[in-house]
Amino acid sequence: MADYHWPPADKRFLIGKSFTRLDGPAKSSGRAKYAYDINRRGMLYGKMVLSPHAHAKVKSIDTAAAERMPGVRAVLVMFEPGKEVLWAGQEIVALAADTEDQARDAARAVKIDYEVLPHLVSDVTPEKAGAGRTSAGSEAKEGDPDAAMAAADVKVEGTYGAGIITHCCLEAHGQVTEWEADKLTMWASSQNVTGIAGEMSKALSIPASNVRTITQYMGGGFGSKFGADPWGPACANLSKKAGRPVKMMLERDQELIEAGARPSIYAKVRLGAKKDGTLVAWDSESWGTSGPQGGGNPPIPYVMRAPNRRTKHTAVLTNTGPGRAWRAPNHPQSCVITMCALDDLAAAIPMDPLDFFLKNIEFTGERGKSYHEELLKAADMIEWKKKWRPRSTQDSGPVKRGLGLSIHTWGGGGHQSNATCTIHPDGSVEINIGSQDLGTGTRTIIALVAGETFGLPLSAITVNIGDSRYPASGASGGSTTVGGVSASTRRAATNALNELLAKVAPYLDAKPDDLEAAEGMVRVAQNPGRAMTWSQACAKLGAAPISAAGQRSLDLISSGVGGAQMAEVTVDTETGIVHIEEIVAVQDCGLVLNQKTAESQVFGALIMGVTYALYEEKLMDEQTGLCLNPDMEFYKLAGLADIGKFRVHMMTGPGYDERGVIGLGEPPVVSPGAAISNAVANAIGVRVPTIPITPAKVLAALEGAASTGRA
Amino acid sequence: MSDERDPASRDPLGGTSSPPEIEEREDAKGFSRRSFLKGAGITVSAGVIAAEGLLETATATAADSKVVGPGPVAITLKINGKEHSLEVEPRVTLLDALRDRLDITGAKKVCDRGTCGACTVMMGGKAVYSCSVLAIAAQNSEITTIEGLAAEGQLSPVSEAFVEHDAQQCGFCTPGFVMAVTAYLKQHPNPTYEEVTQGLGGNLCRCGTYMGVREAALDAAKRLSGGRA
C-alpha cells in the first residue's frame, strides 16, 4: 500500500527536480486563452462610468442620451443617487454596446450630477489628517521600553515608510458573462474560481448550481483578484438585459485607479542598543492609509523583535481608492520600517549590519537558526565581508557603491483544497481541482505530485483546473495554493493508487500492501521482477475507471518560512539615480517541489521588489482628488535594463525538506525594498526615508545631510 | 531603457516618443504619414463630435483630402499569409481588429497606448505596437502575429526558448515579448547579453520574468543560427 507521506530524498524521482511549466507552450505560442481573449458569438462590450470626484454626493443620473447612442444594448445604474462616493473611481453606471468604441462613446454621454464635497487624498500623518479622518489601530507594549531606552548606550530616531502602489496587473480585471436560460457562465480573470461562483450566485440571487466560473489562464493578480467585484455582477446583469454575452474588462486607467492599491505605512521609530550591539528597545508610532476603509495593523517591529517595545498604529482615512491585498500584505512596508531603523542603529553604534543582525538573531524567535544560516549564505554569495565598508568611508567621485541587507518571513500553509483523481482503464490519469494557476506553476506542481505518486512522468498526467465545476478548492492567495493542491492531489492520487493496487494484487500473486508503483510499473516492492507495466495494470480495471477523492491535510504541509536578501547598488550623487548591481536571495520554503518554478518565483519577486523600491508609486493630486499617473508611462515598472544581476539560493535538504510543502509566492517580495534602501544609505551615507527611492528623494536626502553637516 | 522597434519606440527617459510612424515609402499603395495623422486626428475625435451633432461640419472641412469614415470602411488585412476582409471604423486599431473582429488573440491589450509592448506584432518583418497602428493603415503590409510563427501545436525557436528558460509566469506579456525577440533577432542575429538587455526595453512584465527572457533571447539566437553563435 502506498502511504500519503512525501517520499524520502532517495525515493523522490520528480520532487525537487527542475521542470518547465506544462502550460508554457500554450502561453509562449499565444494560444492560451485568458478571460480577456474569450470571444463569444454576438458578444457585446461593456464599459463603466466612474466618479470623477474623490468625494461627492450623486444627485442624479441621466442615462437617456447614452441609451440612444449607436450600438447600445443595455444600461445599468450601479450607484444609488443620494449616496456619497468616497473615491474618484467609484463605479456609477455600466453599459454594453456592439463594439468597444461604441461603448466608450456611450459612456461619455451619461450625465451624472454631483454635489462635490471636500476630500483628502494626500498621504498625510494622523495629525495633519485631523479629527474624523483617523481610526485607531492596535497598541501594544512588552517589557519596559522607557527604562530600556533610558539605559541604552546608543539611541537613534527616524521616520521610515512606503507610499501607495497599485497592482497594475497586465490583464485588467474583468470577465465575459453569458447566460443560457437561467444558467450563467463567467470567464473571469480571477484568483478565486471556486469562491466567486458563490459570490455571483448571491449577488444575482440565483442558485449557486446555476453559476459556472472559469479561469484557465489569468494575467496577474498579486492579491487584487479575489472577489467578483462590482463589475462581475454588473456584467452579468448587462448580459441578462441585452440577452447577449458581454465582455467587460477594465480600461488601463480604471485598473490603476480602482482595482488595486497597496496601503501606505509610515512610522516614527526610536530604538536603542548596548555598546556591544545588543538590541534593547523599540518604540514606534505608525500610520498609513488604505483609502476610506481604514486598514490593518502592520507587524512592526518586523521579524526582529526587541525585548522591550511599544507600538501604536493609526489608520488615516482618505478619499483614495480602497486598498487590496498586495503580495505579502503589510510585510514589505513593515520590513522597510524595521530593517531600515535597525540598519541606522547599527551604523550609529557603529557596527557592520551583518554582525549586528547575527548578534541579535535570537530576537527573530524560533527560526533564528535558519536566519543565521541564510544570512551567512547570502553574505558568502555577495562577498559581504570583502565588499562592505562603513557609510563614511566612500571613495571620492560622484558614484557611490553600497551594500544592504534584510530578512523576512511569511506563513504559508495550505488553502482548503479538494481533488479527484481518475485512473482510466487505458492508463491515462486525470486530476481535477477547482483552484487556478496564476502563473506560479500550479498546473505543473499538480502533475508532478501525481506523477511522483504513480511513478509516471509529468506528461502522463492530465490536469484540469480553474473551473467551478471541479472540486472546491481555495483562492490563490497568501502563498497557500501549493500547500493546498499538493496535499489534496497527493491524497487523491494515493487513494486512487491503493484501489488500483487492490485490483491488481491477485494477478501478481501478492498482497496490495506489498505492491508499489514506480518507474512506469506496478510491482512487488521486494521483488521488482514480479511486475506489470502501468498500462497492463490499468487494463485490469475492465470498463470502469477508478475515481478517488482527496482533501488537503496538514501532515503534508507546513507554515512559516524565512529568507535573507542582500543588495549591492551604485548611486550617482549628481543625478540621484540608483542602479542595482546585484541582489542575492536565500530562501527556505520547506520541501521544494519544482526547483525551476521555485527559482522563477524568487526572481520575479526580486524584480517586483526593485520596482516598488525604486520606481512605482500611485500619485494623487490634492487639488483635484485624482490619480495623476493611471497609465503605464508614468506609473513606472522596471524594464529589462533596470534590474541588475540576481542570484537565488533555495535552502533544501535536512532541516527543510521534512517540514513538507510551504508556499513561496509572498516571502521573497518582502525584503527587496529594505535591502535596497539600506544599500543606498550605505552608499551615500544618509537615509532616504521612504520608498520608492526616486532620484529627487536621493538628492533631497543628500542636500539635507549637507546642510546639517552629516555627509 | 531603449528599444529598437520602429513605430512608437520609447525615448531614453522612458516616456513615449513620437506617434507611430507609418512608413512613407508606402505612399503609392496606402497612406502617407501625413494623411494618416490627419485622418487619425479626425477619427479620434469622431466620438465626441458625433455626440455633439457636429459631425457633418468636420467631415465637410476635410472633404478635399482622402477621407474615410467615420462609419465602417471595408479593408483587407494580410495576416500570417492569409487575407482577411472586414469592415471597421477608421478609428479601430490593428490590435482591436485582430482581437475583436478576427479572434486572433495572441497579441494582448494592456496599456493600449504604446508603452508596454504586450500587443507587439510584426509589420513587414519589423516589430510594431499594434495598439498604436490603425487597422486601415495596416493594409498592404504583411502582418505577422504570434500565431503565425508556428503551426498550432508547434513552437517557433523563440517560443521554445521561452519555455525552456521559464521566461513566463502569468504569460500575459509573453506573446509580445516573443514577437519583440523574434523581430530583434532578425536585425541582430548574434547579440551580446548587454545588447539584449538594452534592445528589449520596449516590453514590460509585471511578474518579473526578465531573467528568463534574457536567457531565452540569447538561447534563441543560437537556435536560429543553428548553433553558430
Q: Is residue B188 part of a domain?
A: yes
Question: Quick one: B53 and B114 in the same domain?
Answer: yes
pLDDT band, very low/low/confident/very high, at A709 (cuts 50, 70, 90): low
Q: Cβ atoms within 10 A of the Cβ of A475, count?
A: 24
In three-state form (DSSP H/G/I as H, E/B as E, the rest C), the secondary structure along A509-563 is CCCHHHEEEECCEEEECCEEEEEEEHHHHHHCCCCCCEEEEEECCHHHECEEEEE
Q: How many CA atoms lie within 13 A of A282 on its CB side?
A: 27
Give the structural domain span for B174. Answer: 157-224
Say yes or no: A596 contacts chain B, CB-CB below 8 A: yes
Domain stop point among B83, B112, B145: B145
Residue B16 falls inside a structural domain? no
pLDDT tier, A394 (very low <50, low <70, confident <90, very high otherwise): confident
Residue A434, SS3?
coil
Q: Which of the residue ranges A158-162, A173-177, B31-35, B112-116 would you say has the lowest mean pLDDT? A: B31-35
B70 cis-preceded (ω within 30 degrees of 0): yes
Q: Is A294 helix (H, G, I), strand (E, B) or coil?
A: coil
At residue B8, the pLDDT reads 38
Q: Of B95, B115, B145, which closes a domain?
A: B145
Looking at 1.25.60.10, 3.30.300.30, 3.30.365.10, 3.30.230.70, the CATH number of the domain A265-412+558-707 comes to: 3.30.365.10
Q: For A330-346, write each residue's pLDDT tens digit.
A: 999 999 999 999 999 99
Helix pair angle (A595-614, B210-224), 10° resolution: 120
A 627-666: CB under 8 A from B: 631-633, 636-643, 646
Do residue B211 and residue A603 have CB atoms under 8 angstroms apart?
yes
Residues of A within 8 A of B110 (CB-CB) are 170-172, 252, 632
Q: Does the domain spanning A35-117+168-258 belong to CATH 3.30.365.10? A: yes
Q: What is the pLDDT of residues A404-426, one digit of tens each?
A: 999 999 999 999 999 999 999 99
| A525 close to A516: Cβ distance less than 8 angstroms | yes
Q: From first to last of its 229 residues, what are the pLDDT tens digits of chain B?
A: 444 444 333 333 333 333 343 333 333 333 343 333 343 433 333 333 333 333 444 444 444 567 888 899 999 999 999 999 999 999 999 999 999 999 999 999 999 999 999 999 999 999 999 999 999 999 999 999 999 999 999 999 999 999 999 999 999 999 999 999 999 999 999 999 999 999 999 999 999 999 999 999 999 999 998 744 3
Range 28-47 of B in CB contact (< 8 A) with A: 47
pLDDT of residue B67: 82
- H or E segment to which residue A196 belongs: helix A193-204
Which residues from B are below 8 Å from A581, CB to CB?
none
Q: Is A600 in contact with B200 (Cβ distance < 8 A)?
A: no
What element of type H or E holds A601?
A: helix A595-614
Which CA distances in Å does B142 have to A350, A381, B74, B119, B121? 65, 49, 18, 16, 10
Under 8 Å between Cβ of A49 and A113: no
Are B209 and B121 in a shared domain?
no
Tally the domains of chain B: 2
- CA pair distance B36, B103, nearest whole angstrom: 26
Q: Percent of chain A having pLDDT more than 70?
A: 99
Q: What's the topology of domain A9-32+415-556? A: Aldehyde Oxidoreductase; domain 4 (3.30.365)
Residue A486 pLDDT class (50, 70, 90 cuts): very high
Which residues of chain A does CATH 3.30.365.10 include? 9-32+415-556, 35-117+168-258, 265-412+558-707
Residue A67 touches partner B, C-beta closer than 8 Å: no
CATH of the domain at B208: 1.10.150.120
Kindly state whether residues B139 and B164 are assigned to the same domain.
no
The answer to whether position B19 is within a domain reads no
Q: What is the DSSP letter of B47?
A: H
CA distance A45 to A251: 12
Residue A169 has pLDDT above 50, yes or no: yes
Distance (Å) from the C-alpha of residue A637 to the closest C-alpha of chain B?
7
Last residue of a domain, one of B80, B113, B145: B145
B151, B211 in Cβ contact below 8 A?
Answer: no
Say whether B175 and A21 touch across the interface (CB within 8 A).
no
Domain assignment present for B120: yes
- Interface check for B92 against chain A (CB to CB < 8 A): the answer is yes
**A253 inside 8 A of chain B by CB:** no
Report if residue B8 sits inside a domain.
Answer: no
Whether B101 is in a domain gets the answer yes
User: Is B186 inside any structural domain?
Assistant: yes
Residues A601-653: pLDDT tens digits?
999 999 999 999 999 999 999 999 999 999 999 999 999 999 999 999 999 99
pLDDT above 60: residue A433: yes
Q: Does residue A188 belong to the interface with chain B, where contact is any CB pair within 8 Å?
A: no
Contact B100 A100 (CB under 8 A): yes
CB A624 within 8 A of CB A687: no
**Cβ distance of B118 and A31 shorter than 8 Å:** no
Give yes or no: residues B169 and B193 share one domain.
yes
Please identify among residues 59-88 of chain B the ones whose CB lies closer than 8 Å to any CB of chain A.
none
Q: Is residue B42 part of a domain?
A: yes
pTM of the model as a whole: 0.92
